[in-house]
Amino acid sequence: MTSVFDLAPQAPVVPVVVIEDAADAVPLARALVAGGLPLIEITLRTPAALDAVRAVAAEVPEAVVGAGTVVTAEAVAAAAGAGARFLVSPGWTERLLGALGDSGVPFLPGVSTASEVVALLERGVEAMKFFPAEAAGGVPYLKSLAGPLPGARFCPTGGISAGSAPAYLSLPNVPCVGGTWMLPPDALAARDWPRVEALAREASGLRGAVATRG
Ligand SMILES: O=C(O)C(=O)C[C@H](O)[C@H](O)COP(=O)(O)O
């Protein structure tokens, strides 16, 4: 199955969106895409989330929209039905993993310990979300996993900022990071899409910053 990491390999950052009004989804997604962040995770934390996924899938073809906070088998079916092209969960259980695998949609189950990583590798899953990234050990933790578990690749998410993202992106086992810093609540409340686009553009340049730093 296609890995989430192959859906938009040029995008170093996955914006994690919490949406209150589905009508905001399309302009918000367009701003993120224009800023260079086509991979967009809409969390299933609000009643508007599935409509938002549906709208972006239908109206913003340049975006690769996914669903986050997918914690039940029922949510897997709902998100896939709404057109989510990838699914993200903060954790996993056997039942959830079974539903994710059966959906045919690329997914990132969340892990925060070495044992969980081993358990997923044992089940043939190599793409994972590292959550909550900063609270669970951050860059030193992921650096420590790279030696014994080089097959696992992570999208760290949780507490990451524009300042801390480059250190994550410099790790060999981190193709991208997730975060909300390009979506400040006041900009969303004001529907300030140009500001979101500018912050997205800054975020999309972060891998370049890592590369030039060597
Ligand atoms: O909703 C989910 O499924 C989650 O796992 C939580 C999100 O990844 C974090 O809420 C990211 O938010 P920041 O910490 O602001 O970057």
Split at pLDDT 50, 70, 90, the class of 170 is: very high
CATH of the domain at 130: 3.20.20.70
- What distance in angstroms lies between residue 185's CA and the mean position of ligand 1's atoms? 14
3-state helix, strand, coil in the chain (%, to 5): 45, 15, 40
Q: Which residue range(s) make up the domain with 59? A: 4-213
Taking residues 167-184, what's their average pLDDT? 97
- What distance in angstroms lies between residue 20's CA and the mean position of ligand 1's atoms? 16
Residues in Cβ contact with 47 at an 8 Å cutoff, skipping those fewer than 6 apart: none
- What distance in angstroms lies between residue 133's CA and the mean position of ligand 1's atoms? 9
Query: Which residues are tagged catalytic?
Result: 41, 129
Taking residues 86-95, what's their average pLDDT? 98
Check if 173 has its Cβ closer than 6 Å to any atom of ligand 1: no
* d(C-alpha 165, C-alpha 5), whole Å: 17
ipTM: 0.94
Pairing state between β 127-130 and 153-156: parallel
Which residue type, as a one-letter code, is found at position 196?
A: V
Number of structural domains (the chain) is: 1
Check if 69 has its Cβ closer than 6 Å to any atom of ligand 1: yes
Question: Among 188, 160, 163, 190, which Cα is nearest to 176's?
Answer: 160
pLDDT at 71 over 70: yes
pLDDT at 213 over 90: no
What's the predicted TM-score (pTM) here? 0.96
